[in-house]
Structure 1
Amino acid sequence: MAWWDVVVATVAREFSDVGDAEQFTRLAVRLLVAAILGGILGLQRERHGKAAGVRTHMLVALGAALFVLVPQQWGMDEADLSRVIQGVVAGVGFLCAGSILKSDDDHVRGLTTAAGIWLTAAIGVAAGLGREMTAALSALLALAILSMEGPLRRLAGRSGKDNEDPG
């Protein structure tokens, strides 16, 4: 056997973690759903001038989905998978903490951005676990909540500058 045959066979084995078309389709759907839902939430945030936009939300959702998909492919049991999810939540919490700023006048900014990133990770986990409808419903609810800010402030007669987190 020539050396290149060994290389080709080795590369083929390295890319064989998806066994059949059904498994590939399941993997692709879960990752795509996570990325698309994260992108939709990120687009809403980007359109409102927030720093964490489409790419950030897509990457967070995709990463969270991947963190649960790979252990599932590996055959990890539910108890161990719950620890993986705990690690994802803690890691994303650390990422979110970096988006919260306190100014000299004690005004806190970035809480909504942090909460949105945290929720986007949860949506990614749901998609990665094969709970696409739960992920989609959660993303729709998040969009509704984020979209209600202006109308609710107008209804309450607030200018938007009162003690509310701008983002």
Structure 2
Amino acid sequence: MEEIAADLVAKTELPYPVMLARMIGAVLLGAVIGAEREYRDHPAGLRTHILVSLSACVFALLSIESVHMAGFSDEQVRIDPLRVIEAVTSGVAFLAAGMIVFSRGKVKGLTTGAGMWLAGAVGLAVGLGYWFVAAVATAACFVVLFILAKVDIGSDEARKTASDEDGN
């Protein structure tokens, strides 16, 4: 029983409170990214972006811990944490690509896909301890999705008005 208890609370490189803080940070920053998609009622909204960010964070934490695991200290075992970043990037890109569709001559879901990809990057950044990078990327995303969207909407309305005036 002691062995099971010891396995449940294994010795880690990062203290558990730091891991918890990073996972909570990934959830919060992922929520900021997904909030606009949820507000606009897109299929991949708040929960999807949170899960993408959190899962990327967990993979980052696991990559940090795997480098320091005693079982992997053998000279013949090579651990490359960059492969985790590549795998997360590929996996999230696959999910994001599934959001993009071409319908009636228009591309839809591109911004949602890009947001999911950014949520993955933010989750990785937080998981690896790069809080500043994650916070700045999330703030920039907020500006792009909430503030620049108003500029884009204005230009869409101008195009529609011009099209209506031309009789098209």
Q: Give me the TM-score of the superposition, normalised by structure 2.
A: 0.81
Q: Deviations for 1:82-113, whole angstroms, at most 9, x for unmatched residues?
A: 1110011011111111101111x221110000
- Alignment gaps of 5+ in structure 1: 1-7, 163-167
Is the alpha carbon distance of 1:110 and 1:32 closer, same or farther for their aligned partners in structure 2, counting shifts above 3 Å? same
Counterpart pick for 1:14 among 3, 7, 24: 7
* Matched residue, 1:39: 31
Distance 1:47 1:153, change over 3 A: closer
**Aligned pairs for 1:135-150 within 5 A:** 135-147=134-146, 148-150=148-150
What secondary structure sits across from 1:102 in the alignment?
strand
Q: In the alignment, which residue of structure 1 is the partner of 2:73?
A: none
Name which of 1, 14, 18 aligns with 1:26: 18
Distance change (3 Å), C-alpha of 1:161 and 1:47? farther
Count the aligned residue pairs. Answer: 151
State the alpha-carbon separation in 2 of the partners of residues 65 and 131 from structure 1.
11
SS in 2 for 1:89: helix
2:46 to 47, 54, 58: 54
Please state whether the residue corresponding to 2:15 is helix, strand or coil.
helix
Corresponding residue for 2:156?
158
TM-score normalised to structure 1 length: 0.81
Is the contact made by 2:30 and 2:53 (CA closer than 8 Å) also made in structure 1?
A: yes
Please show how residues 110-129 of structure 1 align to structure 2 within 5 Å: 110-129=109-128
**Separation of aligned partners in 1, 2:58 and 2:30:** 13
User: Is contact 1:18–1:24 with CA below 8 Å preserved after alignment?
Assistant: no
List per-residue Cα deviations over 1:3-49 (Å, max 9, x = no partner).
xxxxx3233022122559x7011101111111110011112210111
2:101 corresponding residue in structure 1: 101
Asked if 2 retains the 8 angstrom alpha-carbon contact of 1:68 and 1:128, the reply is yes
Pairwise CA RMSD: 2.4
